[in-house]
């Protein structure tokens, strides 16, 4: 990658860039930063028992570690002793506990040292928010390290439903910094291994680098990364792959041992980690930074406490994070999908050129491997043919009419404004998320038709978008936006995927054909209404063909993903252990990076 962007971070621009550490709460406003004002309170001149007053965002701060406080006597630096860290290449300075009466409890294991310590923090609007220093090695091969977003990782323990995220006064870093978000990229994952995650994450970072390299663009340029937020939503804390967590830790986005299971008695529903990373892990598990011209990337990692399916992950994205940052375009990716380094730009450009484009998708190709060796597998070859026919015949034709029957969730984009509901409980997003309760506790009350129809909720979203009342949105196919995805290569994986697709697509197609009259109540131009009527006639003929075709409507059941353990009340529950110890930051970082060097062959598990 060429060095097209020598200055990502212009410190001279106030209001767009975050301040250096040491900012009083009065300086922060919802729209940026103001000049310091006189505080309404005074700090005590002589704190007792090692206590130091709150200095940043309401957290208590000491000289030992920003954002935390240890309840202990003052430490004499002459009493510090060095202890080896069992071969990690550096020494860790820790207090001599023999001189402090056991103020620090140390627990040793085979590889590194862990510490337990009491930390006292103040809740912000009743929410637990911690600014945790990143490991030293994260800041070695990067260009910027002095600002707060580069030197600290922000952890937030969310205790509410995603629909109540803003109401409960949770704030994201881009919102605090007063930045305008043009593009949000969401990556949903379940238990995908590190290989699949690295493939998608590295591609997303390369796309951000391409946006920064477009110096002549009115929207992008050297500081274009400030307008992009990459959101990673993982479905279940006890389901995520450990090596994937190691990759996130190597990038500085994740730290082990700081998550909490409750805040003031309220159970935590999601763990948010925010960090502007300048590191990337390549396919060989090498950590790349300034040597490969990796741009800063604003990353928001949401680790859901329980497994609640992919649709719930999208609800966190749309109703919680996007609702606060209000992006122009939202790009949806599945972990395992690899867009080309310019694909996201081409998708965004389709929205920029035509203000009536409400959704778009690119060309998805099956991953064929080196020398197309994967084509030797008949399952992969047949799916590759299916994708090609869809990209050559179906989607271009539907794009001409302005209505694409399905925008694949693995690689698609939507204009966030177009997705907004017309009234509470009615609109594209409301219809889209209706499927979440359809296969949960409300499955018993749902009819057979609705239960099967919402197995393909992405098709419902496309129809609701085009048929939205008094608005004239259209869907577009972007040939230049290409992405590769891994396809099932075994019979069980293939059947598990297709029995969901077949039932859902058939009933969703029937729903759109049966409700074609809603097009006349939308705000579409008259000529497009006529074109859409022609397309719906074509869809009706195709629906009849699929009904009488062999195998297109097999005896598949309502899956919804049979991964969870049901509790006594019928809801999905997962019992997980909460970490009670926080590893030393630098030792833990060396541990996860060394584990990434060990090649582990894991069996792939595809989500249904």
Active site residues: 458
CA separation (Å) from 478 to 86, 183, 214, 328, 388? Answer: 53, 17, 20, 18, 14
> What's the rounded Cα separation, in Å, for the pair 114 and 91?
14
- Let me know: does 241 contact 192? Beta carbons within 8 Å: yes
Neighbours of 328 (CB within 10 A): 17
- Let me know: does 300 contact 172? Beta carbons within 8 Å: yes
**For the chain, how far is it from start to end, CA to CA, in angstroms?**
36
Backbone torsions φ then ψ of 505, nearest 5 degrees: -65, -35
> What's the rounded Cα separation, in Å, for the pair 308 and 306?
6
Burial class of 491 by CB neighbour count within 10 A (0 to 12, 13 to 18, 19+): exposed
Identify which of 299, 300, 279, 291 has the alpha carbon closest to the alpha carbon of residue 139: 279
The count of C-alpha atoms lying within 13 angstroms of the C-alpha of 245, restricted to the half-sphere facing its C-beta, is 19
Identify which of 463, 470, 565, 574 has the alpha carbon closest to the alpha carbon of residue 509: 463
Backbone torsions φ then ψ of 430, nearest 5 degrees: -60, -40
Burial class of 389 by CB neighbour count within 10 A (0 to 12, 13 to 18, 19+): exposed
- Let me know: does 424 contact 528? Beta carbons within 8 Å: no
> What's the rounded Cα separation, in Å, for the pair 543 and 552?
10
Beta-sheet pairing, 329-334 with 183-189 = parallel
Residues with Cβ within 8 Å of 448's Cβ and at least 6 positions away in sequence, in order, are: none
- Let me know: does 481 contact 343? Beta carbons within 8 Å: yes
Beta-sheet pairing, 572-573 with 565-566 = antiparallel
CA separation (Å) from 528 to 264, 477, 521? Answer: 55, 17, 13
């Amino acid at each position: 990658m060429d060095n097209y962007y020598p200055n990502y971070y212009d410190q001279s621009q106030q209001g767009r860039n975050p301040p250096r550490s040491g900012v009083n709460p009065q300086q922060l406003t919802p729209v940026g930063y103001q000049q310091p004002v006189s505080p309404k309170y005074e700090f005590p001149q002589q704190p007792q028992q090692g206590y130091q007053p709150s200095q940043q965002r309401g957290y208590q701060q000491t000289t030992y570690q920003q954002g935390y406080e240890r309840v202990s006597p003052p430490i004499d630096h002459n009493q510090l002793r060095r202890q080896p860290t069992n071969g990690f290449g550096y020494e860790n300075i820790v207090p001599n506990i023999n001189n402090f009466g056991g103020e620090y409890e140390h627990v040793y294991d085979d590889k590194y040292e862990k510490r337990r310590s009491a930390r006292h923090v103040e809740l912000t609007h009743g929410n637990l928010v911690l600014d945790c220093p990143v490991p030293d090695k994260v800041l070695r091969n990067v260009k910027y390290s002095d600002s707060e977003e580069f030197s600290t990782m922000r952890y937030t323990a969310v205790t509410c439903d995603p629909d109540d995220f803003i109401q409960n006064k949770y704030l994201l870093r881009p919102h605090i910094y007063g930045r305008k978000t043009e593009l949000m990229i969401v990556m949903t994952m379940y238990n995908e291994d590190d290989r699949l995650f690295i493939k998608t994450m590295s591609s997303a970072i390369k796309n951000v680098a391409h946006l920064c390299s477009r110096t002549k663009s009115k929207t992008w340029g050297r500081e274009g990364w400030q307008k992009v937020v990459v959101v990673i939503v993982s479905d279940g804390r006890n389901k995520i792959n450990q090596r994937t967590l190691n990759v996130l830790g190597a990038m500085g986005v994740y730290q082990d041992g700081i998550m909490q299971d409750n805040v003031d008695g309220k159970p935590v529903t999601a763990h948010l980690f925010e960090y502007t990373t300048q590191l990337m892990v390549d396919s060989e598990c090498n950590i790349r930074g300034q040597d490969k011209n990796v741009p800063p990337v604003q990353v928001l990692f949401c680790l859901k406490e329980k497994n609640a399916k992919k649709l719930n992950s999208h609800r966190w994205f749309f109703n919680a994070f996007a609702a606060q940052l209000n992006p122009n375009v939202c790009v949806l990716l599945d972990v395992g999908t690899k867009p080309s380094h310019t694909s996201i730009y081409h998708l965004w450009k389709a929205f920029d050129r035509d203000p009536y484009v409400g959704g778009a998708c690119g060309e998805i190709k099956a991953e064929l491997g080196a020398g197309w060796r994967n084509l030797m597998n008949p399952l992969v070859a047949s799916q590759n043919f299916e994708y090609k026919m869809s990209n050559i015949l179906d989607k271009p034709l539907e794009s001409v009419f302005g209505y694409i029957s399905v925008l694949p969730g693995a690689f698609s984009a939507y204009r966030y404004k177009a997705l907004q509901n017309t009234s509470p409980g009615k609109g594209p997003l409301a219809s889209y998320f209706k499927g979440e309760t359809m296969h949960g506790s409300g499955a018993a009350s749902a009819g057979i038709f609705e239960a099967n129809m919402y197995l393909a909720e992405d098709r419902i979203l496309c129809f609701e978008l085009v048929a939205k009342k008094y608005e004239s949105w259209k869907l577009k196919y972007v040939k230049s936006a290409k992405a590769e995805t891994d396809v099932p290569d075994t019979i069980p994986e293939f059947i598990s995927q297709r029995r969901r697709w077949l039932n859902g697509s058939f009933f969703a197609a029937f729903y759109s054909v049966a409700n074609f009259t809603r097009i006349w109540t939308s705000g579409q131009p008259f000529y497009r209404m006529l074109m859409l009527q022609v397309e719906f006639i074509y869809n009706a003929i195709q629906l009849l063909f699929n009904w009488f075709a062999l195998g297109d409507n097999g005896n598949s059941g309502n899956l919804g993903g049979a991964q969870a353990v049901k509790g006594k009340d019928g809801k999905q529950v997962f019992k997980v252990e909460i970490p009670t110890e926080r590893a030393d930051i630098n030792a833990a970082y060396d541990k996860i990076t060394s584990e990434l060097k060990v090649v582990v062959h894991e069996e792939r598990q595809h989500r249904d």
